């Protein structure tokens, strides 16, 4: 050990016990002794002095869970089971979900005009919903003239919930999918919801 309290070796340095690195540094802050190393100030990895700046050595934020808040968009992280995460939209999202993934979480059959559905919770993603026709109808017994020429199925975004809209269309008017008297039947469909990342 020299007077600067540094150990210098020209071969390997071996320790038969614990090796403690007690100094910390903030990633991105200035440094002046290359290639010294320290613990990161977050305690989750190491930093090395290179180019006058403390730079991370293969670090990833640890002990993260889906939906946990974050501020450094693009920051990589790992969970307790070594699953990979990335900071996206101020929330940690698993890498599987972050790469343009659409997940289906619920499916409802026999949905009619005016039914509502709560939105899915999608940390770091966007809720979506799709309303598809389950049956098509022909206006044989209904009282609409000119006759129905088409149907319209849509999920309308009302903030915290989705509103299912089913309409029958004639040149004269739009009719609720529940207007059995005018339509001669009811418009029924299937709603599928999920998250998009």
pLDDT in tens, 59-107: 567 778 999 998 888 888 888 787 888 888 899 998 887 777 788 999 9
Q: Where are the chain's structural domains? A: 24-57, 102-196
Residues 112-168 have pLDDT tens digits of 999 999 999 998 889 999 999 986 655 555 677 777 788 899 999 999 999 999 998
**pLDDT tens, residue by residue, 16-65:** 777 777 788 888 789 888 888 888 887 767 888 877 888 777 656 777 89
pLDDT digits (tens, 9 = 90+) for 171-185: 888 889 998 888 878
DSSP string, 35-59: T-EEEETTSSSEEEEETTEEEEES-
What pLDDT does 164 receive?
97
The percentage of residues in the chain with a pLDDT greater than 70, rounded to a whole number, is: 87
19: which DSSP letter? Answer: -
CB 112 within 8 A of CB 164: yes
**pTM attached to this predicted model:** 0.53
Q: Is the pLDDT of residue 111 over 90?
A: yes
pLDDT attached to residue 38: 86
Name the β-bridge partners of 118.
Answer: 161
Token pair 């029924």: residue: 188
pLDDT at 131: 97
Give the pLDDT of residue 156.
97
> What is residue 9's predicted lDDT score, i.e. its pLDDT?
67
pLDDT greater than 60 at residue 1:
no
Residue 187 CA to residue 176 CA, distance in Å, equals 8
């Amino acid at each position: 050990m020299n007077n600067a309290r540094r150990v210098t070796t020209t071969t390997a340095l071996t320790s038969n016990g614990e090796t403690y690195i007690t100094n910390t540094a903030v990633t991105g802050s200035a440094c002046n002794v290359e290639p010294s190393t320290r613990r990161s100030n977050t305690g989750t990895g190491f930093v090395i002095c290179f180019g006058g700046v403390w730079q991370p050595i293969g670090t990833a934020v640890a002990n993260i869970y889906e939906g946990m808040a974050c501020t450094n968009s693009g920051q990589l992280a790992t969970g307790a089971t070594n699953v990979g995460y990335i900071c996206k939209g101020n929330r940690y999202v698993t890498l599987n979900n972050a790469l343009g993934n659409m997940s289906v979480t619920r499916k409802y059959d026999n949905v009619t005009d005016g039914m509502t559905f709560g939105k899915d919770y999608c940390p770091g993603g966007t809720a979506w919903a799709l309303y598809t026709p389950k049956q098509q109808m022909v206006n044989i017994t209904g009282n609409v003239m000119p006759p129905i020429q088409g149907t319209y199925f849509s999920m309308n975004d009302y903030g915290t919930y989705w509103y299912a809209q089913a309409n029958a269309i004639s040149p004269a008017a739009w009719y609720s999918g529940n207007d059995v008297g005018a339509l001669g039947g009811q418009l029924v469909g299937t709603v599928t919801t999920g998250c998009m990342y």
